[in-house]
Amino acid sequence: MAAQKAALILFAHQSQGSFNAAARDVAIQELTEQGFKVTVSDLYAMNFRASATRDDVIGGLENPEHFQYGEETMNAWKEGRLSDDITAEQRKVEEAELVIFQFPLYWFSVPAILKGWMDRVLTQGFAFSLQKMYNNGIFKNKKAMLSFTTGATETMFRPDGINGDINVALWPLQNGTLHFCGFQVLAPQIFWSPAHCPANVRAMMLDGWRARLKALLKEEPLTFASSELFDLSFQGGFLLRPEVREQREGQPFGLTTGHHLGKPLPPDNQTKAPPKG
């Protein structure tokens, strides 16, 4: 008998009466109906600690004179000496084939409590290494996505809107965190300004989310530049290979939102999966 599919929802909102909570509940219901075992980490309800500190390491330090969080937690992970709250979350990630981050956009990023989850749970060794990152990453067989609300309208986040291109805002989270750890990153689910929408529009937003969830795992992930395009050595500076840069010279757009190569950004690179074929 095949193992039950598992999904993890990281929920970062203070109120159970929020639109984010409603979006979370839609995902729980729909994924459960699809046969998933759905686990929710309600970070505020858990009083999850955001700060990455010495308390995350049980026992002695490798270098007590100069505490280096990344090194110490990597060693602690190898030796089973991470704090219990981190270990519990890592087990949830290991089990899940789909991870959904559900949150309100704060200052073009995630709330501090969710950033703290990323800082503390995605430990070096557990989530990444210099040998296992990006498309060769540890979580390359898992899918992850951002599902979030904005205070601003969609037009404010256009390339010609006052907030600038939402694709640029999403690049650090989707490439620098999720894809860096190897996740196949699904296009984000963006709920534009629900607090300023009438009830019927909010209901339509949730209906759209429910419909998308029905075929979510069949979606193509977002595209990122393959690690093979780069010189993966300190001598080579981890730079794009010269022959690849040469091949891109005649292209109208850069490779990705981040690897723009001085060209226009590929449209919707961080918000829409490429068409098949």
Q: What's the pLDDT tens digit per position in 84-139? A: 999 999 999 999 999 999 999 999 999 999 999 999 999 999 999 988 999 999 99
Residue 24 CA to residue 8 CA, distance in Å, equals 11
Q: Which pLDDT value is given to residue 4?
A: 85
Q: Which pLDDT value is given to residue 232?
A: 85
Structural domains of the chain, with CATH: 6-221 (3.40.50.360)
Residue 10 CA to residue 48 CA, distance in Å, equals 11
Sign of the C-alpha dihedral, residues 77, 79, 83, 87? positive
Residue 11 CA to residue 192 CA, distance in Å, equals 18
Q: Which pLDDT value is given to residue 1?
A: 61
Amino acid at 180: F
Tell me how many helices (H) and strands (E) the chain has: 7, 6
Q: Which pLDDT value is given to residue 27?
A: 98
Q: Which pLDDT value is given to residue 277?
A: 55
Across the chain, the runs of DSSP E, i.e. the strands, are 6-11, 37-42, 98-104, 143-149, 184-185, 189-191
Low-confidence residues of the chain: pLDDT under 70? 1-2, 277
Would you list the DSSP string of 67-103? --HHHHHHHHHHTT-B-HHHHHHHHHHHH-SEEEEEE
Q: Which pLDDT value is given to residue 24?
A: 98
- The total of other beta-carbon atoms located within 10 Å of residue 218's CB is 6
